[in-house]
């Protein structure tokens, strides 16, 4: 049974989400502040976090940064729930390390689909083997990315995206295909989300001169090519 931490300061929404998730056989923990969320994360095994943007003691995006610093939580799936719906806000949420982003009012069936997709993909990584291409090593069992022997901090979605592209090197994937394979089939996310995460991945790789592995194929999508000169 997966354990989901719900971080929401609106009591009615908090209870509604908890009851809905429990009906889907999830165990839920509840926090109405960032401080409470950190405490629960420290004392419990959490599989996924639902995080409100506006909390009384801390901005939700700042809380993501704190969570990512916890050992073992660098790739903890986090879904942001917020009334903020502009493209700029969504990009900020993803830039801070959110794996998914839903605007309120939340559709419970859609939320359940996204949760199942993220849990399936985060758990499924352990079944794969380490990949080494040029100076990049990605280990889904340990959930580690190293470049030239140096451990590299990277968001959970970028980790999965890079792993998928490396596993399918030289194959070109359209944005809709990447959404299906990395985010989950039938999950309603704008295709531009892929571009945001590709940009973030390239920023991570660029200081190590490895960003050129991620190639854009005009009018089609993206591929990972091992055949470049570093």
Together in a domain, 57 and 77: yes
Q: Evaluate whether residue 90 is within a structural domain.
A: yes
What pLDDT shows up at residue 228? 67
Together in a domain, 9 and 117: yes
Residues of the chain with pLDDT under 50: 127, 230
Task: List Cβ neighbours of 125 (8 Å cut-off, separation of 6 or more).
Answer: 140, 141, 143, 160, 163
Q: Evaluate whether residue 64 is within a structural domain.
A: yes
Could you tell me the CATH number of the domain that includes residue 21?
Answer: 3.40.50.2300
What pLDDT shows up at residue 127? 47
Q: Evaluate whether residue 230 is within a structural domain.
A: no
Together in a domain, 159 and 192: yes
Together in a domain, 14 and 109: yes
> Which domain range does residue 189 map to?
128-224
Together in a domain, 177 and 75: no
The answer to whether the predicted template modeling score (pTM) of the entire model surpasses 0.75 is no
Could you tell me the CATH number of the domain that includes residue 136?
Answer: 1.10.10.10
Identify the CA nearest to 198 among candidates 170, 177, 223.
223
């Amino acid at each position: 049974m997966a354990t989901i931490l719900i971080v929401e300061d609106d009591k009615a929404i908090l209870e509604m989400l908890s009851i809905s998730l429990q009906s889907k056989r999830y165990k839920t923990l509840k926090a109405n502040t960032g401080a409470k969320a950190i405490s629960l994360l420290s004392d419990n095994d959490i599989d996924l976090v639902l995080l409100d943007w506006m909390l009384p003691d801390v901005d939700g995006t700042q809380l993501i940064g704190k969570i990512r610093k916890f050992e073992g939580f660098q790739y903890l799936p986090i879904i942001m729930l917020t009334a903020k719906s502009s493209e700029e806000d969504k990009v900020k949420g993803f830039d801070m390390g959110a794996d998914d982003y839903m605007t309120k009012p939340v559709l419970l069936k859609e939320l359940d689909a996204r949760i199942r997709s993220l849990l399936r993909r985060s758990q499924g990584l352990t079944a794969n083997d380490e990949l080494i291409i040029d100076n990049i090593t990605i280990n889904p069992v340990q959930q580690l990315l190293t470049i030239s022997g140096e451990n590299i901090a990277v968001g959970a979605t970028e980790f999965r995206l890079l792993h998928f592209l490396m596993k399918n090197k030289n194959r070109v994937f359209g944005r809709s295909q990447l959404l299906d394979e990395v985010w989950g089939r039938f999950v309603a996310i704008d295709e531009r989300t892929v571009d945001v995460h590709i940009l973030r991945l390239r920023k991570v790789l660029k200081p190590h001169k490895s960003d050129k592995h991620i190639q854009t194929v005009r009018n089609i999508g993206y591929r990972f090519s091992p055949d470049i000169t570093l």
